[in-house]
A and B are shown apart, each in its own frame.
Chain A
Amino acid sequence: MAADELSVVTHTTDDGVVLIRVRGSLDAWSGCSELADALADAAGRSTGRTVVDLSGVEFADSAGLHALLSGRQRHEETGGRLVLAGPLGVSMRRLFEVTGTIGAFRFADHVDTAFG
């Protein structure tokens, strides 16, 4: 996969947790709407928990942040729980740090610990 491409894959685990794995670059060209749609779809399910694995994100800018914030908003509306799983790459981490949005999300160090 080229560095400027994005892959968004959604799984649903046996206990109903929606896992969205994101790989590649999150920018205005790479289909952040795909992520926003996946998040909105996950929020619409009744199981309550969505885990977004961001460990494979090589780059993200505000377009990616907007998709995640919109997903967070949808989960709030439906009473769902959104967890962002790392480990975060430096680009992803800086985006949250610099925009002051770290506090807006619930984070897990790793996707394996995000289901608890």
Chain B
Amino acid sequence: MTVSGTHPAGGSDEAVGGHGRQDTSPVRAASGVPQNAAAARALVTRLLAARAGGPDGRTADIATADVTVADVTVADALLVTSELVTNAFRHGGGLTGFAAEVNDEGLLLTVSDASSTPPAVTVRLPQADHIGGYGWPLVRRLTQRLTVTFHPGGKHIVALIALT
């Protein structure tokens, strides 16, 4: 994957949606930049609900699709979403782009921020003086594919979460 060029603050759908994705994805939701993690989670929840209920999204009850599998899958997807968006705000100089789409491989999240610093990978044990550092390992654990691409104005993190 090649991404270049600076990313405009408040990135448009085009800015975050042009990463060589195929246009065959049945559902796509990229709309501006969420103002916080809850807003991003709401977007992903709607996207996955639309997938469960068909492309029109009229059936919004995810649990009816497949109770056991879908519940955990949705929970995992929302966890990854929350961690990535939170990192962008707290450590990445702000969220500059957010896109979520479902394709044949699963749920593809693209989260862009304004920092060229790699995500923190340090894991501290609960016994340590400072408690923290669970977010990024959690993201790595729950994603099938995770790529970080740097560009002069920041970075894009693309995360694939399997939905089956």
Residues of A within 8 A of B (CB): 3-4, 25, 27-30, 59, 61-63, 65-66, 69-70, 72-73, 90-91, 93-95, 98-99, 101, 104
Cα-based distance from A86 to B42 in the complex (angstroms):
24
In the bound complex, residues from chain B placing their C-beta under 8 Å from that of A30 are 38
Q: Closest A-chain residue to B45, C-beta based?
A: A3
Q: Determine the chain B residues whose CB is within 8 A of the CB of A73 once the complex forms.
A: 126, 131
Asked if A62 and B72 sit within 8 Å, CB to CB, the answer is no
Interface of B is mostly: helix
Whether B72 contacts A94 by the Cβ 8 Å rule is yes
Cα–Cα, bound, A4→B137 (Å): 24
Q: How far apart are the CA atoms of A70 and B134 in the complex, in Å?
A: 13
| Distance, CA A21 to CA B87, complexed state (A) | 27
Instruction: Knowing A29-B37, A59-B41, A61-B37, say if A98 contacts B135 (CB, 8 Å).
Output: no
The 7 nearest A-B residue pairs measured at CB: A4-B38, A61-B82, A62-B135, A62-B134, A94-B75, A91-B75, A69-B131
- Please count how many residues in chain B sit with their CB below 8 Å of the partner chain's CB atoms: 27
Q: Which residue of B lies closest to A36 (CB)?
A: B131
Q: A61-B135, A66-B134, A72-B126 are in contact. Are A95 and B79 (CB under 8 A)?
A: yes
Task: Please name all residues of chain A whose beta carbon is closer than 8 Å to the beta carbon of B71 when the two chains form the complex.
Answer: 90
Q: How would residues 32 to 47 of chain B score, 1 for a CB under 8 Å from any chain A CB and 0 otherwise? A: 0000111101100000
- Within 37-62 of B, Cβ neighbours of A (below 8 Å) are at 37-39, 41-42
